[in-house]
Amino acid sequence: MATDVAQLDQHRAALTGHCYRMLGSAADADDAVQEAMVRAWRSLDRFDGRSSMRTWLYKIATNVCLDAARGRRARPIDERPVCTVDDALETKPRSHWLDPIADARAVPADADPAERAVLRESIRLAFVAALQNLPPKQRAALLLTEVLGWSAAEVAESLETSLPAVNSALQRARATLATRPPVRPPQASDAQAALLERYVSAFERYDMDALSALLHRDATLAMPPYTMWLQGQDSIRAWMLGKGAGCRGSRLIPTWASGQPAFGQYRPSDKGGHEAWALIVLELAGDRIANVTSFLDIEILFPQFGLSLELPA
The pTM is what?
Answer: 0.88
> CA-to-CA distance for 303 and 85, rounded, in angstroms?
31
Contact of 255 with 262, CB cutoff 8 Å = yes
Look at residue 140 in the predicted model and tell me its pLDDT: 96
Contact of 313 with 273, CB cutoff 8 Å = yes
Look at residue 46 in the predicted model and tell me its pLDDT: 79
Tell me where in the chain the CATH 3.10.450.50 domain(s) lie: 190-311
Tell me where in the chain the CATH 1.20.140.160 domain(s) lie: 2-70+102-176
Look at residue 179 in the predicted model and tell me its pLDDT: 64
The fold of the 2-70+102-176 domain, in CATH, is Butyryl-CoA Dehydrogenase, subunit A; domain 3 (1.20.140)
Look at residue 238 in the predicted model and tell me its pLDDT: 96
> CA-to-CA distance for 255 and 307, rounded, in angstroms?
9
Residue 94 to residues 37, 143, 181, 282, 283, Cα–Cα distance (Å): 26, 25, 27, 20, 22
The fold of the 190-311 domain, in CATH, is Nuclear Transport Factor 2; Chain: A, (3.10.450)
Q: What is the mean pLDDT of each run of 10 residues along the chain (313 residues)?
A: 69 96 94 94 80 89 94 78 85 89 93 90 91 93 94 94 95 84 52 92 97 96 94 96 95 95 95 94 92 95 95 86
Look at residue 309 in the predicted model and tell me its pLDDT: 96
Asked if omega into 225 is within 30° of 0 (cis), the reply is yes
Look at residue 264 in the predicted model and tell me its pLDDT: 97
Look at residue 161 in the predicted model and tell me its pLDDT: 93
Look at residue 188 in the predicted model and tell me its pLDDT: 52
